Amino acid sequence: MNSKSSIHGLLFEELAAFCREHGQPAFRAKQIWGWLYAKRVASFDEMKNLPAPLRNLLGEHFCFQCLEKIETKGATGQTQKLLLKLEDDELIEAVLIPARARRTVCISSQVGCKMACAFCASGQCGFHRNLTAGEMVEQVLFAAEIYGERPTNVVYMGVGEPLDNYDETLKSIRILNHPDGLGIGARKITISTSGVIPGIERLAGEGLQVELSVSLHASENELRSKLMPSNKRWPLNALLQACSDYTAKTKRIITFEYTLIKGMNDLPEQAQKLTELLRKFPCRVNLIPLSEVEEFNGERATPEAMQYFFKTLEKAGINATLRDSKGSALKAACGQLRARKL
């Protein structure tokens, strides 16, 4: 394994400090940053306006591309799933989801996941390690290469729990958001969490305008703990209080994700209970049919049950959307990523 760290894992300030420490003029950091993220070259050698000794110095200290694309599934212009190999031979996945003017990429934040949600293939594979900021940024660069331009939206909704890898996730967001680089607006970046309260509390103090999406999937603790074991540690009432505090502090509206599973969490009384829980503060709710996986003995809710659930929320004045899960044919939908060869 290459012991050098990824150049894409550096904040602009860290790159500037590196240049300073090596006696380079201040403008060099901006030049290098431009090659990395505006021109998106594939090697240090392509950074034509840098003197050769500086290109060599960068090559001695940093690896340029630490991820290797193993496989792409799906047609150009439609949802595509990328299987990527890390330097230690671990595998991760990223998903491209184009829709009209949007070029979204869904990226992974960990190899595997500790949260072990019952319906999620990623969670059933166990946890291997956190990704570095550079490994997250490189997933976005692979998407840029395929799209032919930078992605407009980034969602941290692939394999892993991003708030369980807080520091590297936030660092990658600051790199993606930098105006002289990819310049992906904070509001176009979504962190999706299973409900890690300490992470939500920290995020509230970052002053970042990112979107926060919280997976609920149940309106009472017993069922939620069965579906999401992390609920035993961060139960519903405490989680919703943290979400309410987050909204009060940041003035940002949270999106709650609710996957509808036939006969399990799609009953009329569960819809009613959800409205009671969420009436307390402004929010949005995404209702998504289950993306079935072999590891979980559950089926997607019927269209009638989904409509009833949706109408119940709507009547209660909750801003709800009934979504289809993009990418289920490719096993690229939420909960279906498992990072293995297709």
Q: Which residues are catalytic?
A: 93, 334
Give the integer Cα–Cα distance in Å for 63 and 54.
14
How are beta strands 153-156 and 254-260 bridged, if at all? unpaired
Shortest Å distance, C-beta 288 to ligand SF4: 12
Based on the shown chain and the rule CB under 6 A, indicate whether residue 86 belongs to the binding site for ligand SF4: no
Q: Considering beta carbons, is residue 121 or 175 the nearer one to ligand SF4?
A: 121
Shortest Å distance, C-beta 153 to ligand SF4: 19
Based on the shown chain and the rule CB under 6 A, indicate whether residue 181 belongs to the binding site for ligand SF4: no
Tokens standing for residue 261 = 């599973």
Q: Considering beta carbons, is residue 117 or 189 the nearer one to ligand SF4?
A: 117
Taking CB under 6 A as the criterion, the residue among 79, 153, 172, 194 binding ligand SF4 is: 194
Shortest Å distance, C-beta 332 to ligand SF4: 13
Stretch near ligand SF4 under the rule CB under 6 A, chosen from 10-18, 95-103, 159-167, 312-320: 159-167
Give the integer Cα–Cα distance in Å for 126 and 70.
22
CB 233 within 8 A of CB 198: no
Name the DSSP class of 260. Answer: E
Shortest Å distance, C-beta 166 to ligand SF4: 14
Based on the shown chain and the rule CB under 6 A, indicate whether residue 24 belongs to the binding site for ligand SF4: no
Based on the shown chain and the rule CB under 6 A, indicate whether residue 335 belongs to the binding site for ligand SF4: yes
Shortest Å distance, C-beta 203 to ligand SF4: 16
Q: Considering beta carbons, is residue 150 or 338 the nearer one to ligand SF4?
A: 338
Based on the shown chain and the rule CB under 6 A, indicate whether residue 250 belongs to the binding site for ligand SF4: no
Total number of residues that touch ligand SF4 (CB under 6 A): 12
Based on the shown chain and the rule CB under 6 A, indicate whether residue 196 belongs to the binding site for ligand SF4: no
78, exposed or middle or buried, with CB in 10 Å at 0-12, 13-18, 19+? middle
Collect contacts of 262-266 with beta carbons under 8 A, ≥24 apart. Answer: 262/290, 262/298, 262/299, 262/300, 262/301, 262/302, 262/305, 263/299, 264/223, 264/227, 264/298, 265/217, 265/218, 265/219, 265/223, 265/227, 266/301, 266/302, 266/305, 266/306, 266/309
CB 117 within 8 A of CB 100: no
Q: Which residue is nearest to ligand SF4 (CB)?
A: 123
Taking CB under 6 A as the criterion, the residue among 74, 123, 134, 199 binding ligand SF4 is: 123
Taking CB under 6 A as the criterion, the residue among 50, 115, 254, 339 binding ligand SF4 is: 115
Q: Which residues of 221-255 are buried (b: 16+ CB within 10 A; e: fewer)?
A: eebbbebbbbbeebbbeebbebbbebbeebebebb
Based on the shown chain and the rule CB under 6 A, indicate whether residue 161 belongs to the binding site for ligand SF4: yes
Q: Which residues pair with 111 in a beta bridge?
A: 129
Based on the shown chain and the rule CB under 6 A, indicate whether residue 199 belongs to the binding site for ligand SF4: no
Q: Which residues bind ligand SF4 (CB under 6 A)?
A: 113, 115-117, 120, 122-123, 159-161, 194, 335
